[in-house]
Structures are given as C-alpha cells and as structure tokens.
Structure 1
C-alpha cells in the first residue's frame, strides 16, 4: 500500500465552497483502479490549510492510472482552481519494524 500525502492551501474565503466541491469530486477518485481510501483533514491552526491522504495499492495506480486518466481531468476541473500555491504531492510507504 502507498500513501499519497498532499498539503493543500485553499484560497482565502473559499473553504466552504472547496469542501463542497471536494465532497462531489470524491466519487471520481474512489472509482479508480487501485484506490483504497482517502480522507481530507482541515488544519486547526491555519485557515484554509488541508491535508489530503489517499491510500493506493501501488504508486502506479496513482501516477499512471489516475493522473493519466480522463477522470483526473474532471478532478482537476472541480478542484485545482481552489489552490494557491499549487500543492506538492508526495508518496510514502509503511516502514516495517
């Protein structure tokens, strides 16, 4: 399993509209091959800051399967206009102890 982690900064005053749009866009990502789960967390200290965590079976399920799909174009249309600056996406794997 791969964890995609994205720190998002939503433009001031657009938080409510963003959360509503994200709720609708959740159907897009959850329909993708290799998708496991996702969650959106709102920062308590910084207004407009969110953390998106998405679990994928493989990194390719995200970077190729989702990012190169028509569904991703729809996801971008619904959400990317809210971000300033554009977020950095990172991938993590669990450390075996």
Structure 2
C-alpha cells in the first residue's frame, strides 16, 4: 500500500467552495483503479492548509492510472481553481505501526 500525501493551500474565502467540491469529487476516487480510500484534513493552525491522504495499492495506480484518467481531469476542474499554488505531493510507505 502507498499513501499519497498532498498539501493543498486554498485561496482565502474559498474554503466552503473547496470542501463542497471535495464531496462532489469523492466518487472519482472511489472508482479509481487501486484506490483504497481517501480523506482530507484541515489545518488548525492554518485553516487555509488542507492535507489530502489517499491510499493506493501501488504507486502507479496514482501516478499513471489516476493521473492519466479523465477522472483526474474532472478532479482538477472541481478543485483546481481553489488552489493557492501547486499542491505538494509525496508518496509514503509504512515502515512501522504502533497500534
């Protein structure tokens, strides 16, 4: 399993629109090849900072199959205008779980 972690900075005043677009975009992830779940968290210290976390079966499920899909284009149309700069995306693999 690979965890995609994307920091999304949102333009001031667009938080509610962004969160509504997230709800609309959920089915795009639900049907994506290899997607095992997603969640979005909002910063407490900086409420314009959001963290998108997506569980993928493989790195390629995200970087090749999803990013190359029409659903990815739809995702960007829904939320891209809310971004304040390009998202910072990293991929992580679990090396330890405490509980």
The question of a shared fold, defined as TM-score above 0.5 by the shorter chain, is answered with yes
Within-5 A mapping of 1:8-87: 8-87=8-87
Residues 56-83 of structure 1, C-alpha deviation per residue, up to 9 Å, x if partnerless?
Answer: 0000000011000111111111011110
Q: Match of 1:84, SS?
A: coil
Length-normalised TM-score, structure 2: 0.94
Residue 3 (str. 1) matches residue 37 (str. 2): no
Runs of 4+ aligned residues of structure 1 deviating over 3 Å after TM superposition are none
When normalised by structure 1's length, the TM-score is 0.95
| Cα displacement (A) at 1:96 | 4.9
Name the Cα RMSD after superposition: 1.1
Q: How many residues align?
A: 97
